[in-house]
Amino acid sequence: MSDNPLLDQQVLPPFETIKAVHIVPAVDKILDDNRSKISELLATTEEASWLNLIEPLAILEDHLNQCFSPVGHLNGVMNTADIREAYNTVLPKLNEYRTELGQNTKLFSAYQNLAKSESFSTLNATQQKVIDNALRDFRLSGVDLDAEKQKRFAEISKTLSELSSKFNDNVLDATMAWSKTFSDKSELTGLPESAIALAAQMAEQKNLEGYLLTLDYPSYSPVLLYCENRELRREMYEAFTTRASDQGPFAGQWDNTEHISEIMKLRKERALLLGFDNAAENSLATKMAENTDQVITFLKALAEKSKPAAEREFTELLDFAQKQHGVTELCAWDMPFYSERLKEYKFDLCEEALRPYFPVPRVLVGMYEVVRRLYDVEIEACSDMETWHQDVTTFLIRKEGEVIARFYLDLYAREHKQGGAWMDECRSRRIKLDGDLQIPVAYLTCNFPAPVGEAPALINHNDVVTMFHEFGHGLHQMMTKVDFAEVSGINGVAWDAVELPSQFMENWCWQSEALQFISGHYETEASLPDELLEKMLAAKTFQAGMTTVRQIEFALFDFRLHMEFDEEIENQTQIILDEVRAEVSVIQTPKFNRFQNGFSHIFAGGYDAGYYSYKWAEVLSADAFSKFEEEGIFNRQTGEKFLSSVLERGGSADAMELFVFFRGRKPDIEALLKQDGIL
């Protein structure tokens, strides 16, 4: 055993012993060792084969991943100053290493020779996919460029990784910087008791009197939805939508404006170096979509069908606000508040009335029961996995009595934890050289309101949907049967197909049969009453048009920016966003809004020119789920077919091929429009 826990290859990360001081030395050591071993490998390998080239490289990559996976994860969930500093120190080193590999002409030649050799035909389809993907990625790393252009490509890649990390840091710092305390809860009139209790608990944890509000979503969202104090809603909306920008309460501090320009400039330059016309074309090289026109056509067709519904919904909301509340103008900070009032009025449904029926422990048991019925697996808590925080719980998955995967569950918002929800890989499934199986392990992260007092954490139905969404990603990672890490789980999956399993899992949150065991009152354990269930299902497609055009707004902005970016056009990012809003949005956005400055998905999260994936995956999901609607939502044969067609296959085959294998045909956009009530 090493005195540095990050250097030891272990089944699971030793979180209890990992310190920030371990990070830089461990990464440096592994990168140096890997470089030496790759040089030795290329010097001694005469005729490349799977066993003497691909397998040794996979071992080196797995060792590096075992070291860096917990580091990257800690940077997201325990973002202390020392961890951040260490992470930002090793990030450019890792990027430099990966660029070196991608531009290693000897390594590229070895892969090419293997692909042309007689032994290639003896490999199975999955192994051939690993090699084909690698050859594609070599070219996307600039292996064909001359030395001067390769050097520039490496510089760009290194700088982009640093800028993306800085972008995320700025958003987190800006989020944590804002808070507001209240001594009198009369200023919070309208807030549910659960939100007031959370605000009181947060103040107590900070040794403050009264009530504390922050920009963390469990604190921010209830204010926008329920608080009758309009000025407070405006204040928090402005603080949230101007994070890391030149506007708002911290104008100019942690400002991402220049970072966005520099990121876009470098992405465009990288694309041009590789022979693409723009960064969007470059991005599509690893996606299902065939070209940029196809993506734009898809988004505009969806907007054309959705905007009339969105306009009707907005007119209805404005009419309601005028007649029922005497409001003559709806500002952005009014929209959630009056939308919630309209939902209550139309469906006699208050989202807060649902919260007691969704205590986290019950939702988890119910979610695992859904998975058991679909895929015949058992999920159980375990206590032999070290964690990074006392709130983290750990689980294993069994199939036919055998442990096939493990996962960490980190559900609650806290300081120094990045907002949002995500799944990431801790370990990928692979067969090791000695024949042993390395089982997949996943991190599942959310930012729900933490338990208050002795009661369990109570979440709303939107949070339930989020939990199912992330667990769908987790199942994609953990249910894989692919034996090669390069294409097992989420690895090697086209980015615009990776959201299919997550969107797909959301469907069960709306099924009455499933809700009978997903829900259970935290005091009485009674399932959601039929009356509430009927109201919730009736409200399912409430304002679906406005929700859809909002997502199209984000997707079109992202894609157009990556297609059209020109550093000579001043303020082009805002110009494109304004144009997209004028085309598809039905809501007037305040001039101070700087949504783009916190849009981590596309500037720091891998969704560049790929945010459309969410809407495309909704099409795939709706169409896939329609098969369950036809054959039974818990039909085991249908569940097994989805398992064997999609979840178990990972990135081992083309995403469209896998969808067609399951559904029997290509996806139909109308399935989504029908599901959302737009058609």
Residues known to be catalytic: 470
Q: To 5 degrees, how large is the angle CA 241–CA 243–CA 245?
A: 105
Per DSSP, what are the bridge partners of residue 181?
212
Tokens for 163? 């800028």
Q: Is 537 helix (H, G, I), strand (E, B) or coil?
A: helix
CB 259, CB 244: distance < 8 Å: no
φ, ψ for residue 625, nearest 5 deg:
-70, -25
Q: How far apart are CA 118 and CA 122, in angstroms?
A: 7
CB 162, CB 88: distance < 8 Å: yes
φ, ψ for residue 427, nearest 5 deg:
-135, 145
Tokens for 52? 């003497």
The residue ranges of DSSP E strands in 236-328, in sequence order, are none
Tokens for 359? 């205590």
CB 242, CB 249: distance < 8 Å: yes
Q: How far apart are CA 175 and CA 189, in angstroms?
A: 24
Task: List helix spans (H) across 142-246.
Answer: 147-177, 193-205, 217-226, 230-241
Tokens for 529? 């009453």
Q: How many CA atoms lie within 13 A of 377 on its CB side?
A: 24
Q: Is 49 helix (H, G, I), strand (E, B) or coil?
A: coil
Q: How far apart are CA 469 and CA 505, in angstroms?
A: 6
Q: How many CB atoms lie within 10 A of CB 51?
A: 10
* Residues counted in the chain: 679
Please name the amino acid found at residue 579: E
Tokens for 293? 């026109």
- CA nearest neighbour of 143 among 107, 89, 193, 167: 107
- CA nearest neighbour of 90 among 21, 178, 174, 18: 21
CA torsion sign for 287, 290, 296, 300 is negative
Q: How far apart are CA 144 and CA 178, in angstroms?
A: 48
Task: List helix spans (H) across 326-456.
Answer: 335-347, 351-354, 360-375
Q: How far apart are CA 175 and CA 215, in angstroms?
A: 6
